[in-house]
Amino acid sequence: MYFDNIAALTAQNPVPLNTEFIVGGFYSPGDGGGGTFIWIPGSALSYPDTGITFNAVVDKSGYFKRIYSGPINVRWFGAIMGATDPNPPNDPNTGLPYPQPIADVTPYVHAARDSKEFANDGTLYFPKGVYPGAFDFTSRYGNPTFIRNEINIIGDGEGSVLKSNGTTGYEIPNGSIYNYPVLRLGYRQFHWRYAKVTNIKIDGSFQSVANRFSWGVTFESQGTPHGAEAAGRWIFEQVYFENCDRAVFKFAGNIGNSFLNCTFNNNNYGMYANAYAENGIGKMHNGCDRYLGGHFSGHTEAAIRYASDEEGLAGSGQIIIDGTIIENNPGWAIKMSLIKQSRMIGAAISIRNVWFEANGSETKGGDLFFEGIKSVRIDDSQLAKIWLTDSSVTLFNCRLDSDKGGIGGKNMIVDKHSSIVAYEHRYMSYPTSLIFVNSISYDGSQYLNLQNWQPTSVWGPLRLINTQNTNIIVSEHLDSTNEIWDHYGTSNFEVMSQTNSLYKLLGNGSNLLVLTSNTHIWSRNIVGTISSAGFYVWSIHTFLSDTYDAFEPQLHGEIASEDGFTSLGYVYFKKGQWACSYGLKYIVPNPSPIRIRLSFNTKVIPNDAQFYLTDYQIVKFNNLTDANAFVNSKEFAIQRLR
């Protein structure tokens, strides 16, 4: 028996028995809401879901049930934009029936969500089409009470669009009022049972209001943001996020979400994640997220943004970004910041095989912004613009483009509390001030511009050296086991007295060098000459035997010119340990002898310092390619020992 729509089906009185009913559509034939039904005799249902089960209008001796298999189609429940609903549900905001034709499918989608058939690991299907609404999937219970452990949402690709309805008045814990998100997700069990959103588009723009952008997805619990820590463990696969204020917003900390080959395009933020504390207690960090593949572009503030809560009691960690392209974002590609205690509890960040390009400008944004983020590891990636504050980053086999420009024209801004270390580094253009290879670090005491950046290596891995050999001076430099050192005062490094004390710089450390209080030592012998512009590889090894512990960080050696205008780099000492520093630096023409200076960074030292200087070297190259190859070579590692 055939009927044009559901209304015609349910109007039968009495309903024929032992009959199959074919319905053309929910409102009209072909709208996707029709199907095949049978009559289940007995009694009418207390809670028909009006999509899979329907009561007849008059005949109460049974109910209609849809014959189906597979996912539940939201169109079965009337979620059809532009259709005319003869009995529209009331708008929860106004209490009045929804306007005609249908411009907001929220109540129809929620009817599908609350279906008994959807409970316990259900899958909801959005066929190709536009679905304006503010869809809430945070509730554990429907009507009546059916437990929901897992919810899967699927579409037909970018043509299945979940679109903002522009609803306002949504308040988060800090009191801010925002538009409702397009999709609110959460389920209430702490078991690691993943739910999935796949093959669908989420659009935060509202068609009838100019310049209004909603959030795309938020994670919440039982309708309240305060339970959001239990709302994670979602897998997004081939989801397209567009025109959102924040495409994905974790405003109260949760964990365990994955984004597989997702596209984030033209949002203010792609991911925005806050950690969460309550009553002075860190409740939930905002990490354990994975981004595998995918593409981010067009983000005005940041493509990926992680931050600690305002109290700094919960942090970030185990964030993995792998195989992703992040390009053409006016703001930051990745911006992460932690404050207060959260700086101590953040776990490692792993960025692998990521392509950064054309992010930021000279006034805003760039590739990486890290504030209070420790233990960031970046592998096999291409990037250009970095800003570090109280952070540490290690690069492995990466390429840094030095010709892209950044804020104020600077590729890299690193404060004195940060470090960046690189291994097997590659580059796009040269000469460049941003070549750092093997274990070269930067203390960030000044901007790392061409010709005035200061490389340092603090506690870098010790090179393979044979300490039974003498110090090694390679190329144009003196080679001697005996060095004469002059003692100087610390005030402006003016000469207090000169001595011709003889110190042997033996590789086996048989003779100590002694640095007395309120002095520094300057090598009498010239260890090299900056004769012309070029790329200079330098290295120095020391072992600190004894000093007053409180002043260990302030004891250092420097390879520098007599006039003080050229400094190749520093080595910092630590008691009972080898200190190894080496680097590669481009020097402009400045003919000047180079000596080694060993000193304290303070005028009041209660104890003398005793140490060994085992080897040092300076090697000049005329081009960056050869210099870079040398620093990565076995030849450099063994220091041409003889």
The phi, psi pair for 323, rounded to 5°, reads 70, 25
Point out the least confidently predicted range of 8-22, 79-93, 116-130, 138-152: 138-152
402 pLDDT more than 70: no
Whether residue 241 contacts residue 267, with contact meaning beta carbons closer than 8 Å, is answered with yes
292 pLDDT more than 60: yes
CA gap 38, 18 in Å, rounded: 8
Cis peptide before 88 (omega within 30 of 0): no
Percent of the chain at pLDDT above 90?
Answer: 34
Q: Cβ atoms within 10 A of the Cβ of 346, count?
A: 28
Point out the least confidently predicted range of 221-230, 384-393, 611-620: 221-230
CA gap 96, 110 in Å, rounded: 17
Q: What confidence tier does 623 reach under pLDDT thresholds 50, 70, 90? A: confident
Cα dist. 150→139, 382, 409 in Å? 11, 38, 49
pLDDT of residue 25: 97
82 pLDDT more than 60: yes
Cα dist. 505→509, 521, 527 in Å? 7, 14, 13
pLDDT of residue 461: 35
The residue ranking higher by pLDDT, 42 or 480, is: 42
The residue ranking higher by pLDDT, 393 or 21, is: 21
User: Which structure tokens are listed for 412?
Assistant: 């890299």
The residue ranking higher by pLDDT, 313 or 432, is: 313
Helix segments in 4-141, DSSP class H = 6-10, 106-113
The residue ranking higher by pLDDT, 561 or 431, is: 561
Tens digits of per-residue pLDDT, 99-156?
A: 778 989 999 999 998 888 777 668 999 999 999 999 988 765 544 455 555 679 999 9
Beta strands 441-442 and 455-457, pairing class: antiparallel
Instruction: Measure the CA dihedral 73/74/78/80, to 10°.
Output: -100
pLDDT of residue 558: 79
Q: What confidence tier does 547 reach under pLDDT thresholds 50, 70, 90? A: low
431-436: average pLDDT: 35
Q: Of 240, 244, 231, 246, which is closest to residue 260 (Cα–Cα)?
A: 240
pLDDT of residue 95: 74
The residue ranking higher by pLDDT, 538 or 552, is: 538
pLDDT of residue 126: 98
283 pLDDT more than 60: yes
CA gap 383, 427 in Å, rounded: 10
The residue ranking higher by pLDDT, 4 or 585, is: 4
Q: What confidence tier does 447 reach under pLDDT thresholds 50, 70, 90? A: very low
422 pLDDT more than 60: yes
500 pLDDT more than 60: no
Point out the least confidently predicted range of 81-95, 103-117, 352-366, 495-509: 495-509
User: Which structure tokens are listed for 623?
Assistant: 């081009």
When the pLDDT of each residue in the chain is averaged and rounded to a whole number, the result is: 76
pLDDT of residue 275: 85
CA gap 600, 489 in Å, rounded: 11
pLDDT of residue 426: 59
Most confident stretch, 75-79, 522-526, 565-569: 75-79
Point out the least confidently predicted range of 332-336, 435-439, 582-586, 627-631: 435-439
Cα dist. 422→167, 323, 521, 584 in Å? 48, 20, 31, 12
Whether residue 436 contacts residue 442, with contact meaning beta carbons closer than 8 Å, is answered with yes
472 pLDDT more than 50: no
Most confident stretch, 19-33, 178-192, 309-323, 496-510: 19-33
Q: What confidence tier does 637 reach under pLDDT thresholds 50, 70, 90? A: low
What's the predicted TM-score (pTM) here?
0.72
Q: Of 162, 296, 272, which is closest to residue 219 (Cα–Cα)?
A: 272
Point out the least confidently predicted range of 282-286, 443-447, 521-525, 627-631: 443-447
410-425: average pLDDT: 72
Q: Of 200, 266, 281, 275, which is closest to residue 239 (Cα–Cα)?
A: 200
